[in-house]
Amino acid sequence: MEAAAPKSIPKSVRVRFAPSPTGPLHVGSVRTALFNWLFARKYGGTFVLRIEDTDKERSKKEFEKGILEGLAWMGIDWDEGPEPLGTHGELPLDGGVGAFGPYRQSERTALYKNYLTRLLEEGHAYYCYCTKEDIEAQRQAMLAAGLPPKYSGHCRTLTAPPPGKDPQTIRFKVPETKVEFNDLVRGKVSFDAALFGDIIIAKDLDNPLYNFAVVVDDALMKITHVIRAEDHLSNTPKQILMGRALGFPEPAYAHIPLILNPDRSKMSKRFSDTALLNYRERGYVPEAMMNFLALLGWHPKGDREMLSKDELIAEFDIGRVQQSGAVFNEEKLDWLNREHLKTMPLDEVARGTAAFLAQRNIVAANEHLLERAVAVQRSRAKTERDLADAVAFFFALPEYGAELLVWKDRSTLNEVAEVLGRAARALEKIPAERFDLEALAAILPEIVGEHERGIVLWPLRVALSGLAASPDPVEIMSVLGRDESLRRIAGAIRKASAGK
């Protein structure tokens, strides 16, 4: 049964994720998208994707593609857009994730121009003729007077352009008032707008800036809740004032805590390990990444930490978001990823592992063999990349030296060849169709014979895997099957006999 929304949350919830395509998709941005998505799905609302690309110099199509690809990998789908995805060559997404392309601010400049013109005509905004040098001189004068620096308002009351000067920007007339709002995370928040000065909202009518465009977009897209990181908190009173000047309804705001490095410094795009898709390349699975990011700054009722997507939706409560920063603990991510790998459908883990095997030029064409290998190894693996490393020997026996077959210098290569020969003769008695864990365990005493177990099982394991560290030889043989196991043992016997 769908959870009933609290009285303070309307049934027609509309939220948005509005990233800037100026760099790789940051895990902090994905956490913001996730909180919005969970909130919308919790209450049967709408999740809107909007690309905020008003920064023409820094916005790049490859970064937008990375945003779409990252959200698709995470399974975060959006509900509407200006046209079906692919019309303008956007990234095609499988499984219906993001059926529509995102809104882009660069395609909405005519809308912003209309509202900029309206603010100018109604006296809420004005052209500013102050150059960068003028602004810096005003700033220095205020600092020298012991005042907090802000725009002096030099052009606010001009009735005509100064002779020989061209407009440099468009500024919003910030009223000297207190702005208060109830933040869904922080409670009552108050700002003194008299400290802001008149803010720049556009370079000109055709080039709006973020703080203005976002106000227009949120209003026209009927956004009911703005859920974003706390570093946007200082923008909120300015956006509220612009919205009031335009007569827009005011959305509810929730400012979620920043994600911090282990030393409690702010995570930055400058560090590559904050890029979401880097974690995909390292072999983390989206189920674990979603689980992990949801727990950064939020926690469900009780002590549960491992939650599925459906459980996160059912449990999500914006009121349980904390105010303090959330530390990105990669050890916890590793643990969650390991646990999700254990519980995910075997065929799904096998497909992911096959992709990493392909990067090593290993083609896992035998799906049955791959799934059996993954079943043996996945409890030992931290990521799918680790899992690919762990199962690679099932498909391609690594090169190894004969000396690796000797256990702790307790035997000679001649003895290794002898015990492996006896093991092969015992194994040949098992029919191929019964070459399983039960039959192999039953014949193990005959394989070991009178020897110390390590003297037999060590070279047998090396013969089967080519590695110093690998699973139990019985497990390996149950996966490889009779013919391949005997083939590998025969190769090890030749290697031991040749002494190399």
The widest CA-to-CA distance across the chain, in whole angstroms, is 106
Q: What is the mean pLDDT of residues 464-489?
A: 95
Q: What is the mean pLDDT of residues 323-332?
A: 92
Q: What is the mean pLDDT of residues 465-475?
A: 94
- Confidence tier at 269 by pLDDT (50, 70, 90): low
CA 180 to chain centre: 33
Confidence (pLDDT) at 99:
56
Catalytic residues: 269
For 311-419, list the strands marked E by DSSP: 326-327
Q: Which residue has the tokens 């970064």?
A: 63
Tell how strand 187-192 and strand 259-260 pair up. unpaired
For the chain, percent helix, then strand, then coil, each to nearest 5? 50, 10, 40
Say if CB 349 and CB 327 are below 8 A apart: no
pLDDT greater than 80 at residue 417: yes
CA 330 to chain centre: 13
Q: What is the DSSP string of 154-191?
A: TTTT-SSPPTT----EEEE---SSEEEEEETTTEEEEE
Say if CB 98 and CB 72 are below 8 A apart: yes
Q: What is the DSSP string of 241-276?
A: HHHHHTTPPPPEEEEEPPEE-TTSPBP-TTSGGGBH
For 369-466, list the strands marked E by DSSP: none
Kindly report the pTM of this predicted structure.
0.89
38 or 7, higher pLDDT:
38
Confidence (pLDDT) at 80:
79
- Confidence tier at 409 by pLDDT (50, 70, 90): confident
Q: Which residue has the tokens 């096959």?
A: 354
Mean pLDDT for the chain overall: 90
pLDDT greater than 60 at residue 98: no
Q: What is the mean pLDDT of residues 375-393?
A: 95
Q: What is the pLDDT of residues 143-176, one digit of tens each?
A: 888 888 889 899 999 989 999 899 999 999 999 9
Confidence (pLDDT) at 443:
92
pLDDT greater than 80 at residue 201: yes
pLDDT greater than 70 at residue 500: no
Confidence (pLDDT) at 164:
87
Question: 2-16, 101-115, 195-209, 248-262: which range is least confident on average?
Answer: 2-16
Confidence (pLDDT) at 145:
83
Give the Cα separation of 322 and 144 in Å (integer): 40
Radius of gyration of the chain (CA): 31
The one-letter code for the residue type at 197 is: G
